[in-house]
Amino acid sequence: MRACHKKSLGLIVLSGLVLALFYVWSPGTSSGVDIQPRQRSEIHELLERKALNAISDYPDITYNIKEDVACRLARNTCVCLADKESFRLPFANLLFPRVWAHKLDLAFLKKHPDPEGVKQHRAQEYSSFQKRSYNPADVPILAEANSPLQYPTQGVEVRPLKTIIIPGLGLKEKTRPNHTVYLTATQGTFDVAATVGMVSVKGEGEKHMILSSPLLSALNKQLQFVTYTNTVFHPSTAETVQFATEGHQSFFTIKVGHRIIPKLYNSGYQREYNISAIVTIATKTFLRYDKLKELIDSIRQYYPTVTIVIADDNEHPQQVTGPHIEHYIMPFGKGWFAGRNLAVSQVTTKYVLWVDDDFIFTANTKLENMVDILEKTTLDLVGGAVREATGYTATYRHTISVEEGGEEGDCLHFRKGYHHVIEGFPNCVVADAVINFFMGRTYKVQQVGFDPRLARRGHLEFFIDALGYLHIGSCHDVIVNHTSKIHLPWTKTESQKAYEKFRYTSSSSESDLYNEIFYFKNRFKCMTSN
Ligand SMILES: *[C@@H]1O[C@H](CO)[C@@H](O)[C@H](O)[C@H]1NC(C)=O
Ligand SMILES: *[C@@H]1O[C@H](CO)[C@@H](O)[C@H](O)[C@H]1NC(C)=O
Ligand SMILES: *[C@@H]1O[C@H](CO)[C@@H](O)[C@H](O)[C@H]1NC(C)=O
């Protein structure tokens, strides 16, 4: 059943490397399929008890709390409080932006016909989300003092249903008549890939294996051949192994998972950045063909062959043609995020640049700078700056943080600002949310996606979904012009008036939708911002 190469095994063990040895298993050897929510095993209860014991040690020793440090620790700070209005001065809000707070639970539940029902439903959905995303590798493990056991603390990985040699197992203790170690697993079995004389092995091919020998060196040699086989299929989880000897226990995890398959873009070798080969410009248009045409013309001045993808949900779509233009017509009024989703889904280049249809490229719209920082750093997305007709330039940088708030939901905090400047790029900073003029790694932006329910407006919602997935930066030296939002009424065209009517009417059903998305989908109870 197995194909095991004795010779290569010898080499592997000799070389003393940490590595994985795979056996080929025929289908059907797995003993189960892990589609049930993962149960907490006895091992995890044991771990929890040990952690609690460690905390309650030395109860009679006194201590003094250092306020300035302790207050930085996350305590129950998920409270929905706005800043008090302290003074009224012109522009005070610009200089010292006040924090406002929005109680999402109140706002959403008071309008809901069945608030208790919706709370319960959210709790159920959240509990099954937690079960699905639970990973045994996240459980804290304490290593005891003076343990004679040697084992790998991290970095051991096995592919689902495959076998590896567990590297680094050993026992260092005084000579005794009989040396014994125990191994216990929950989602796989142990075995030995070679046998060593004077060592007794019990429980080969089982979840619990005991090795013993009167000779410590023989036992340690035998431990070099211990294998672990994952038997419960799950594409991404972890095994917690218990490794013990008389009077000592240790725990370590083996990651179980497929290899992450990369998504690489073959853009051709280039000495200088060839924007047409690596960037696609995506936009969404609605009722503003005049603006769209200005945008396309301005892009063509600087980037004549870059592909432009346009998502269009007009009621009476007009033709938008030209070389390197892809025009996708959507059902009428599908909306803002649906259009972003569609446009971004069609991009085949490494990077996608998002622009609004009322932007104008200028000599300062240097896409090369955005490509450069994405190529040279680990950033996934970088925002630029938008210059209003008044000359004011905005980068719209924000940080986002989430504080745990228990059963009622968590708190979401937006603040103007950024985390830090990026070394080597003095015009750029790291933030959590940026302006709607940004370039991103296409597959990462596609992974996060744009919630198509956000029809009329939506921007920060994308960055909430991206929190923890995308590494985001913002550079103020890549500037696009914004054709004025504020037009004098007598200069407005009919289509501008229609657009504004559509975009800026915020109905109550619309704000209900935003409350629902924050309250239910993202499970927040409160949002604060400044
Ligand atoms: C050593 O101890 C283990 C566990 O107590 C036992 O199973 C094993 O038979 C003993 N071996 C020898 C050689 O005494
Ligand atoms: C840049 O990329 C485009 C599109 O892939 C290609 O047609 C063009 O020849 C490239 N230009 C250079 C200078 O390599
Ligand atoms: C861009 O905006 C600046 C500042 O308002 C203005 O001086 C410049 O002429 C604009 N460029 C274009 C191409 O519209």
pLDDT recorded at residue 273: 93
218 plus 155 within the same structural domain: yes
Give the residue-averaged pLDDT of 43-58: 76
Total number of domains constituting the chain = 2
Nearest ligand to the C-alpha of residue 274?
A: 2
Cβ–ligand 1 distance for 203 under 6 Å, the answer no
pLDDT recorded at residue 1: 33
Which atom of ligand 2 lies closest to the CA of 267? 5
Cβ–ligand 1 distance for 212 under 6 Å, the answer yes
Cβ–ligand 3 distance for 393 under 6 Å, the answer no
Q: Please give the structure tokens belonging to residue 403.
A: 């504080």
Nearest ligand to the C-alpha of residue 265?
A: 2
Cβ–ligand 3 distance for 391 under 6 Å, the answer yes
403 plus 511 within the same structural domain: yes
pLDDT recorded at residue 14: 36
310 plus 358 within the same structural domain: yes
Does 100 fall in a domain?
no
Pocket probe for ligand 1: among 173, 176, 178, the residue whose CB has the most ligand atoms within 8 Å is: 178
Does 428 fall in a domain?
yes
359 plus 502 within the same structural domain: yes
CA of 362 to the centre of ligand 2 (A): 22
Give the residue-averaged pLDDT of 333-349: 93
Give the residue-averaged pLDDT of 70-94: 68
pTM given for the model: 0.84
H/E element, 117: helix 115-133
Q: Give the C-alpha separation, 253 to 185, whole Å.
A: 10
Which of 256, 284, 317 corresponds to the end of one domain?
256
Cβ–ligand 1 distance for 182 under 6 Å, the answer no
Does 358 fall in a domain?
yes
239 plus 352 within the same structural domain: no
183 plus 285 within the same structural domain: no
Residue 21: pLDDT band with limits 50, 70, 90: very low
CA of 273 to the centre of ligand 2 (A): 10
Q: Would you say residue 322 has pLDDT above 90?
A: yes
pLDDT recorded at residue 111: 87
CA of 75 to the centre of ligand 1 (A): 51
pLDDT recorded at residue 167: 97
Give the residue-averaged pLDDT of 149-171: 96
CA of 301 to the centre of ligand 3 (A): 15
Count of all residues that appear for the chain in the document = 530
179 plus 32 within the same structural domain: yes
Cβ–ligand 3 distance for 481 under 6 Å, the answer yes
Q: Would you say residue 36 has pLDDT above 90?
A: no
Protein residue with its CA nearest to atom 4 in ligand 2: 277
Cβ–ligand 2 distance for 277 under 6 Å, the answer yes
CA of 477 to the centre of ligand 3 (A): 15
Q: Give the C-alpha separation, 220 to 214, whole Å.
A: 11
Which residue segment(s) compose the domain that 279 sits in?
Answer: 275-529
Secondary structure class of 402 (helix, strand, coil): strand
Burial class of residue 46 in the structure, from the number of CB atoms within 10 Å of its CB (0-12 exposed, 13-18 middle, 19+ buried): middle
Does 186 fall in a domain?
yes
Nearest ligand to the C-alpha of residue 388?
A: 3
Q: Please give the structure tokens belonging to residue 204.
A: 């080969």
- pLDDT tens for 244-282 read 999 999 999 999 999 999 999 998 888 899 999 999 999
Q: Are 509 and 455 in contact (CB under 8 A)?
A: no
Q: Would you say residue 519 has pLDDT above 80?
A: yes
Give the residue-averaged pLDDT of 405-426: 94
pLDDT recorded at residue 42: 78
pLDDT recorded at residue 99: 83
CATH number (domain holding residue 496): 3.90.550.10
Does 252 fall in a domain?
yes
Give the residue-averaged pLDDT of 153-159: 95
Q: Which residue has the higher pLDDT, 506 or 252?
A: 252
Cβ–ligand 2 distance for 274 under 6 Å, the answer yes
Nearest ligand to the C-alpha of residue 245?
A: 1
- pLDDT tens for 280-317 read 999 999 888 989 999 999 999 999 999 999 999 999 99
- pLDDT tens for 97-113 read 678 888 999 989 998 89
Nearest ligand to the C-alpha of residue 267?
A: 2
Residue 391: pLDDT band with limits 50, 70, 90: confident
pLDDT recorded at residue 40: 62
Residue 95: pLDDT band with limits 50, 70, 90: low
214 plus 285 within the same structural domain: no
Q: Would you say residue 76 has pLDDT above 80?
A: no
**Least confident piece of the model among 129-138, 229-238, 371-380:** 129-138
Secondary structure of 187-219 in HEC code, one letter for each residue: CEEEEECCCCCCCEEECCCECEEEEEECCHHHH
Which of 206, 228, 256 corresponds to the end of one domain?
256
Protein residue with its CA nearest to atom 5 in ligand 2: 277
Residues 6 or more apart in contact with residue 384 via CB below 8 angstroms: 365, 370, 395, 435, 437, 438, 439, 474, 475, 476, 478, 479, 480
Residue 65: pLDDT band with limits 50, 70, 90: confident
399 plus 331 within the same structural domain: yes
- pLDDT tens for 225-247 read 999 999 999 999 999 999 999 99
Pocket probe for ligand 1: among 176, 198, 212, the residue whose CB has the most ligand atoms within 8 Å is: 212
Q: Are 483 and 291 in contact (CB under 8 A)?
A: yes
CA of 181 to the centre of ligand 1 (A): 10
Does 122 fall in a domain?
no
Q: Give the C-alpha separation, 430 to 240, whole Å.
A: 36
Q: Using CA atoms in the order 242, 244, 250, 253, what is the torsion angle rounded to 10 degrees? A: -30
Which atom of ligand 1 lies closest to the CA of 178? 1
Does 4 fall in a domain?
no
pLDDT recorded at residue 94: 54
pLDDT recorded at residue 182: 98
**Listed residue (368, 293, 350, 354) closest to 325, CA to CA:** 293
pLDDT recorded at residue 7: 41
pLDDT recorded at residue 2: 39
Protein residue with its CA nearest to atom 8 in ligand 1: 212
Residue 77: pLDDT band with limits 50, 70, 90: confident
Residue 57: pLDDT band with limits 50, 70, 90: confident
Give the residue-averaged pLDDT of 479-499: 62
Give the residue-averaged pLDDT of 123-152: 91
The pLDDT > 90 percentage for the chain reads: 62
Does 335 fall in a domain?
yes
243 plus 318 within the same structural domain: no
**Listed residue (366, 400, 397) closest to 469, CA to CA:** 400
CA of 421 to the centre of ligand 3 (A): 27
Average pLDDT, the chain: 85
Q: Are 303 and 276 in contact (CB under 8 A)?
A: yes
522 plus 388 within the same structural domain: yes
Q: Please give the structure tokens belonging to residue 417.
A: 């600002």
Cβ–ligand 2 distance for 267 under 6 Å, the answer no
- pLDDT tens for 343-373 read 999 999 999 999 999 999 999 999 999 999 9
Which atom of ligand 2 lies closest to the CA of 274? 1
Residue 397: pLDDT band with limits 50, 70, 90: very high
Q: Would you say residue 61 has pLDDT above 90?
A: no
199 plus 279 within the same structural domain: no
